[in-house]
Amino acid sequence: MLKVYNTRTRSKEEFVPIEGNTVRMYVCGPTVYDYPHIGNARSFAVFDSIRRYLEYRGYRVTYITNFTDIDDKMINRANEEGIEVSELAAKFISEYRKIEKQLNLKPATVNPRATEHIDDIVEMVDLIIKNGYGYDVHGDVYFSVPAFDAYGSLSRIPMDELTSGARVEVDENKKDPRDFALWKAEKPGEPSWDSPWGKGRPGWHAECSVMGRHYLGLPFDIHGGGQDLIFPHHENEIAQSAAAYGIEVPVKYWFHNGFLTMDSEKMSKSEGNFSTAREVLDNYDHQAVRLYLVTGQYRQPLDYNAKAVTQAIQSLERIKNAADSIRGRISILERIGSRESEDDKKLAEAAKKVREGFEREMDDDFNTPGALAEIFAFVREINTLVGDVGGAAVLREALAVLTELVGILGVNLTDASATDEGAALTSDTLKGVIEFLLELREEARKSKDFGKADQIRDRLKQIGVEVSDTKDGPTWKLS
């Protein structure tokens, strides 16, 4: 049974989609005015893994994540650079696409843009006004928070604490300081569109209510985003959707990922303590970065520092080495023939156990640290058993299980260089590699580096090569 933590109810609940085996999922995407920082990348990665696990569990997932391509930040940055807002958006959407590929994110079903849904936004705002929850002040349209009794149901912030200040936009045109903008009147030099209240542009919160309904209908199953979006963005989304369309609970489950800290301090562009995703991906292995981003349970904070990424690099290497050991052993067995051994049963049981353990952990609110612990227990079993496994079929199954499970976490072991065909060695090549390693071992022995010599011998044994030391030098055979 899959259980998920729902921000709206502040509890873990059994996950039951609204409609059969179909999951409709919306995740707030980036405002494309600047390079995404590594904290944004965490959100990209964790929700991609949640989606992958839901698909692994047999659900048909429609996955929507948007691009905010019109808001104050977009306009200010475009003016600074002396370019059109649309040009700025195109630049950073292209950057997102690069990051998407490098982090092995599955493409969304649709990546809608706010500017593609202006008519829908105008329609929603008009409904909010007609239903008594909005008002027009000289072309600026606001949502009346006091008129909506259920406001605060997600963030649980008492109404009397919602005053001007942090995350509440100050505007003298508001009837109440807690009200928020649905539509902003045109200003010189800004993009604008026609509306019943005059030319203008949408407020930031409007787009997600509209696009969620447009692509997924209401209500839908999952809405995701960072914890910083709980208030005011997601709170305002609920108010808009309920006020316009009469849906009391427009989203069944709300998921929010924890902050990424930097050396234990909250990452913030305003404080200058952040790294862009581009800087990190340019300096580290892309798959190791992806692995690092899911090493923490998604609702908890995750600290970014060089040590953490280095550990992820080492962890990735352990996984890849285990996969390579399996491929090497399969290559050997294809030449010498399979012969079942007692270790075949042990490896088959380990493969069954890791799948069960992985599912148990992921069923507990997508507990990726627990899932990784199960994977590394399996890696240890592979390293212990692989050299004595005699059946190629059980090895292929073990490799398939390892590949599938780490794939849910975004690590790809199936690129062209990692296929059985690509990893297969010709007899002459295999012989040359083994003899080269034995030469290195002899050099280590002569230098009295017996630890290195033993390491080479043990590594060869793991892939089925037995080394014997004789008075005439080392000999080897395939076991």
pTM of the model: 0.86
In a domain, 295, yes or no: no
How far apart CA 315 and CA 263 sit, in angstroms, is 21
Note the pLDDT tens digit of each residue in 229-244.
999 999 999 999 999 9
Residue stretches of the chain with pLDDT short of 50: 164-166, 416-426
- Could you tell me if residue 48 is inside a domain? yes
- Quote the domain boundaries for residue 463: 427-478
The pLDDT of residue 238: 98
Question: 129 and 109, same structural domain?
Answer: yes
Residues 435 and 335 both lie in one domain: no
Q: Does residue 12 form part of some domain?
A: no
| DSSP structural state of residue 110 | B
The DSSP-derived string for 354-386 is: HHHHHHHHHTBT--HHHHHHHHHHHHHHHHHHG
> If DSSP codes are grouped into helix, strand and coil, which group holds residue 308?
helix
Q: Can you give the pLDDT at residue 416?
A: 42
CATH of the domain at 313: 1.20.120.640
231 φ/ψ sector (left φ>0, alpha ψ -120 to 50, else beta) = beta
Q: Is residue 263 part of a domain?
A: no
Helix (H) or strand (E) holding 6: strand 3-6
Alpha helices in 367-449, H assignment, sequence order: 368-385, 392-408, 420-423, 427-446
What element of type H or E holds 133?
none
Question: Residue 40's domain is classified under what CATH number?
Answer: 3.40.50.620
Q: Do 234 and 311 fall within a single domain? A: no
Domains of the chain: total: 3
Residue closest to 423 by CA, chosen among 286, 319, 330 = 330
Same domain, 416 and 447: no
Kindly report, residue by residue over 250-266, the tens digit of the pLDDT: 999 999 999 999 877 77
Does 388 map to a domain? yes
Residue at 415 is within a domain: yes
Same domain, yes or no: 409 and 456: no
Residue type, 157: I
Angle at which helix 286-293 crosses helix 38-56, to 10 degrees, equals: 80
**Residue keyed to tokens 């965490």:** 42
Which residues are registered as beta bridge partners of 475? Answer: 468
**301 in a domain, yes or no?**
no
What is the reported pLDDT for 421?
36
Same domain, 416 and 433: no
Domain co-membership, 342 together with 237:
no
Task: For 414-424, write each residue's pLDDT tens digit.
Answer: 864 433 333 34
Whether residue 235 sits in one domain with residue 129: yes
| Strands 260-262 and 302-304, bridge-based pairing | parallel
DSSP states of 25-43 as a string?
EEE---BTTSPPBHHHHHH
Single out the residue in 394, 423, 452 at which a domain terminates: 423
- The pLDDT value recorded for residue 426 is 46
Q: Are residues 53 and 103 in the same domain?
A: yes
List the structure tokens of 11.
């509890």
pLDDT score of 330: 93
Sign of CA dihedral 338, 344, 348, 354: negative
CA distance 208 to 255: 15
Return the sign of the alpha-carbon dihedral for residues 357, 362, 365, 366: positive
Q: Which of 182, 145, 136, 150 is nearest to 164 (CA)?
A: 145
Is 273 a member of any domain?
no
Give tens-digit pLDDT for 323-371.
Answer: 999 999 999 998 888 888 899 999 999 999 999 999 999 999 999 999 9
Note the pLDDT of residue 419.
Answer: 36
